[in-house]
Amino acid sequence: MRSTVIVFGGTGGIGAATVELAIGRGFDVVLTYADQAEDGIAAALCDRLGGCGAMVQQLRADITREDNIGLVFDRAKSSKSQLAGVVNCVGIDCTKRVAAELDAAELRRLFDINTIGTMLVCKHAAQAMLPRHGGTGGAIVNVSSMAVTIGGRSGSAAYAASKAAVDIFTVGTAKELASQGIRVNCVRPAMTLTPATLPYAKDPISSADIVRTIPMGRMARAEEIAAPILWLLSPEASFVTGACLDVSGGGFLVGMNRVDGISPGIAS
């Protein structure tokens, strides 16, 4: 029987790269996207990857609505393919605001998507994978952020907090589900080149400031994040659960003195 991977947020940079790599590894894929503006992107991605011989299905879903999440898992079941993995790539960053300027409505939306949405996806994934519900186990991978390790760059403390909650939830859920054959892990990317980060990458000053904080001296490519995600889904990671894997180019250079031509890092 073929195996299916569900990728929530499958049209974005990391999500789309994960979908493409999963197809290349022989999985069928159900991918989700957020709104009508992404209809064309999802259709084009499915058309292109469907030619590889796999089944690729797209579904618009609001991760803040549990009924939408349930429909995604129903779609996966209808494929008559065994659910093997679920990847949470959905995430937003609210308007850059320092603590003294935080907005309650923005915070609710941020946590509804980044934190509560991820938790609800894990809930439905666990239900689908539990042996007592007819599942055969599987793997869940949540996409967090290296921002949690420094509290976020300036104006992103709330974003970092929403992702830190994902880290803790990943570890706790992994302990709950380990005996049932379900592994739960997360990856923490550094700044990655995606459509969402393109404004930073195109701005010479912002780009230089970011790159100075990454020991490898560049931003990540989306496929460099997708590869460890697929590894965590694979049997090669069969004894890995409750892990937060830094995919960071070496972490952060913060407050370091210039040594051997390396510029000081920034704390923002």
Question: What are residue 53's phi and psi, to 5 degrees?
Answer: 95, 0
The DSSP code for 261 is T
Q: How many CA atoms lie within 13 A of 241 on its CB side?
A: 20
- C-alpha–C-alpha distance, residues 194 and 32, integer Å: 17
Could you count the other beta carbons within 10 Å of the beta carbon of residue 36? 8
Tell me if residue 159 is catalytic: yes
In 3D, which of 160, 168, 166, 222 has the Cα closest to residue 191?
A: 222
Q: Cα(138)–Cα(161) distance, rounded to whole angstroms?
A: 28
246 SS3 class? strand
Neighbouring-strand partners of residue 244: 186
Set 159, 162, 177, 220: catalytic member: 159
Integer Cα distance of 225 and 21 in angstroms: 11
Which residue numbers are catalytic? 159
